[in-house]
Amino acid sequence: MKRITLAQRPTGLPDDDTWAVEEVEVPTAGDGEFVVKVDHISLDPAMRGWLNDVRSYLPPVKIGEVMRAGVTGTVTESRHPGFAVGDAVTGTLGVTEYALTDGTGVRRIDTSVAGPATWLGALGMPGLTAYHGLYEVGEMKPGETVVISAAAGAVGSVAGQLAKAKGCTVIGIAGGPEKCAWLEEIGFDAAIDYKNEDVLTRLRELAPQGLDVYFDNVGGEILDAALANLRRSARIVICGAISTYNDEQLAPGPSRYMALLVFRARMQGFLVFDYPDKDEAALTDMAGLIRSGRLVARETVVEGGVEDFGRTLLGLFEGRNTGKLVLKIA
């Protein structure tokens, strides 16, 4: 079998020298273990941060270690009482063709509800991130104005549809007319093309009374534009800052942060792991929205092998995906 390990830490964007392709024997299950044949691998912006040797919410991937990634797959051998051969599962098992696990962090999935790629997207970590960010941190309420950056991505597209299902006015920020058109197709009230429009000006036109919730996946100038257009008691949900992930020098902080004082607003970061007791209810809710057609789960699926992981990952930072980016290897 093949697997991808971290060969060296990148400066700026990862390149071919960042990764090593290793060939090793397919593992065999011991007592309390099972083997998973991986079929889909998740590509996530957070992966770039995991490559840096700095203190963070997870330890960095070590040199020589299999690259961390969420996957779906099928159990091919089991000596674990909770998992049987043939079970479809998902978990953080890495960029590998086969994975050996004791079941920690692995759960069964129902592929009759949605395909494997969706269990890495709307019904996976991105969907849970959107859900917890809006409900637990953003505390969104019906009738509020919600603005989402990177709105055509895996997290943003789900967040916008969740806010719409809650009865909010939803404005998405995305790059390019095709992505903006798709956002309006799936129910966003308006979309701002940051590549061709002035975000600050358009936000003031579309939300003249200000915004109540800003779900930030981007950081940088777009975060500043949102700060310039807050309503009193607004909540800013800090989910990510993809515009800065490959910077070689520390990016400057928000220049309009005093708007938090003026409008008595709150800006809070969070992680999807913060609300484990709420995951099951969130997944049940989102699965129901998918079945009813109120939540459209979209994935950009790239077919290839594990050796295509590095170049597929770059697509996230080049804006090549709409919805969730997934590498299908089987």
Asked whether 314 and 47 are in contact (CB, 8 A), the reply is no
Identify the CATH number of the domain in which residue 188 sits.
3.40.50.720
Asked whether 66 and 94 are in contact (CB, 8 A), the reply is yes
Residues 114 and 135 in one domain: no
Residues 90 and 152 in one domain: no
Residues 114 and 30 in one domain: yes
Residues 233 and 145 in one domain: yes
**Sign of the dihedral through C-alpha 102, 43, 3, 244:** negative
Residues 111 and 46 in one domain: yes
Give the total number of structural domains in the chain.
Answer: 2
**Torsion-angle region of 306 (φ positive above 0: left; ψ -120 to 50: alpha; else: beta):** alpha
Residues 198 and 167 in one domain: yes
Residues 93 and 165 in one domain: no
Residues 267 and 175 in one domain: yes
Asked whether 170 and 163 are in contact (CB, 8 A), the reply is yes
Query: Does the residue 281 lie in any domain?
Result: no
Residue ranges of the chain with pLDDT lower than 50? none
Residues 213 and 76 in one domain: no
Query: Structure tokens of 252?
Result: 């400057």
Residues 83 and 177 in one domain: no
Query: Does the residue 278 lie in any domain?
Result: no
* Other CB atoms within 10 A of residue 287 CB: 19
Provide the pLDDT for residue 244.
79
Query: Does the residue 289 lie in any domain?
Result: no
Identify the CATH number of the domain in which residue 71 sits.
3.90.180.10
User: How far is Cα 77 from Cα 84, in angstroms, rounded to an integer?
Assistant: 8
Residues 195 and 103 in one domain: no
Structural domain boundaries, residue 86: 2-118+297-328
Provide the pLDDT for residue 242.
84
Q: What is the pTM of this model?
A: 0.92
Provide the pLDDT for residue 250.
77
- pLDDT by residue (tens digit) across 78-104? 999 999 999 999 999 999 999 999 999
